[in-house]
Amino acid sequence: MGIVQTLLATIVTLGLLVTIHEWGHFWVARRCGVRVLRFSVGFGKPLWLRKGRDGTEYVVAAIPLGGYVRMLDEREGEVPEALRHQAFNNKPILQRMAIVAAGPVVNLLFAVLAYWFLFVWGVTSVVPVVGSVQSDSLAAQAGLPAGVELLEVDGHSVQSWDEVNLRLAARVGESGTLQLVAGEPKRGLAQSYQARLDQWTVDLEKESPISAFGIRPYRPEVPAIIGSLSEGGVAEASGLRVGDRVVAIDGEPVGDWVELVEVIRSSPHRSLTFEVLREEQAQVLDMTPAERVDDSGQRYGFIGAGVEAVEWPPEMIRDLQYGPVEAAWVGLQKTGQMIGLILDSIGKMIAGAISVKNLSGPITIAKVAGASAASGLESFVSFLAYLSISLGVLNLLPIPMLDGGHLLYQFIELVRGRPVSERVQMLGLRLGMAMLLSLMALAIINDIARL
């Protein structure tokens, strides 16, 4: 994945989500009769500016990490008497609340639309069949056997590993009983399994909830056949070719690709003798894996060879596709589930049940945007939907500087019948700014640590 592709994917992702967010504020403001002075996507120096016939300046600015809608407002400058009725501050409180809430709400509606599109288009997923269960894990304690299909997690039907992962993620940091239903649905067989959670912790930076629970998803057997070679790598230099099947290393049989990788990774700087089949002819090759270091400082061997792709059994692939009406309901449910998961995660992070290391900033967003774009339309639209939900939910938090903070002040005004004093608002602004800058700094530090 190239830097240019990552950069373009990031610009498209942030540009689109910021635009629809600010468009929500803009659209409702115009409907409420508020004069909009500027609609800007991005901050800083304008790269493109056009003034519309409505008198609004439309701007694309240099820093694509946000945007704003500037409205006529007596609190920000002098307003001519003839235009006072078009000023934001002179509108009824409910109209002002609607204008502020419109941005995050449109982000959430966009997510519903994105999921609707995916479910009408069709989502390809892997049937959640258990491949193996790790010993001394929660899955093993529950008695979950290999080979069964997961049907329910905590009373919720699941049809893919993505759904299983989300349901398990919702229980991270909790105690109590986790109930699973698994079996062979084609034969009408199903059984319940229970796992006892005790403030279940998962290092989400290193493993998924599925892996932490002790489940290894089913994967088709992958033979030790070379599918690709890194130019100038050890494997190519030693004479290994695409299509070669490795049958033994140092006289020990190699059963599949996993065994091959394990031997290579455990042998940096150690000479190995490969026995391979090339067009049904036996070949003997000597090579010494190079050494690399992973994120934890562990050294491992590397030869620069990739696996040949294998086809999944048709019965292990599930296409989830719905009609337009049903897809709208499923998309709404999916959005609601993600909203709940984000709010739950924020609460657990505040309580300390989830590490703040899971906060991500612009670098991680850029990497994921690029990777999802490279993976295809389905992955990219799904990422857009999730990020749009995150943007909508976070903006509704009652933190000064965010839309939720403004809504909090306006709600107090609605109840009291008069605005919150400027002194209190300025104090809240300083606290909100300090909080957001601290969170942003922490997210960027986490991003750099991940690099």
SS percent in the chain: helix, strand, coil, step 5: 45, 25, 30
By C-alpha distance, which of 145, 208, 138, 199 is closest to 174?
Answer: 199
Packing angle between helix 324-351 and helix 93-121, nearest 10 degrees? Answer: 120
By C-alpha distance, which of 171, 144, 167, 165 is closest to 156?
Answer: 167
The pairing of strands 226-229 and 305-307 is: antiparallel
Instruction: Write the secondary structure of 243-285 as one string of H (helix), E (strand) and C (coil).
Output: CCEEEEECCEECCCHHHHHHHHHCCCCCCEEEEEEECCEEEEE
Backbone phi, psi, residue 123, to 5°: -110, 125
By C-alpha distance, which of 305, 329, 331 is closest to 240?
Answer: 305
Four-point Cα dihedral 52, 56, 59, 63, nearest 10: -170
Largest CA distance in the chain: 92
Q: Containing H/E element for 373?
A: helix 362-375
Sorted by sequence, the CB contacts under 8 Å of residue 262 that are 6+ apart come out as none
CA 394 – CA 16 distance, rounded (Å): 17
Q: Containing H/E element for 163?
A: helix 161-169
CA 333 – CA 313 distance, rounded (Å): 30
CA 270 – CA 291 distance, rounded (Å): 10
Which residues are known catalytic residues?
Answer: 22
By C-alpha distance, which of 240, 362, 343 is closest to 289?
Answer: 240
The whole-angstrom distance between residue 186's C-alpha and the CA centroid of its chain comes to: 33
CA 424 – CA 415 distance, rounded (Å): 16
CA 63 – CA 11 distance, rounded (Å): 10
By C-alpha distance, which of 52, 88, 51 is closest to 71?
Answer: 88
The letter for the amino acid at 119 is F
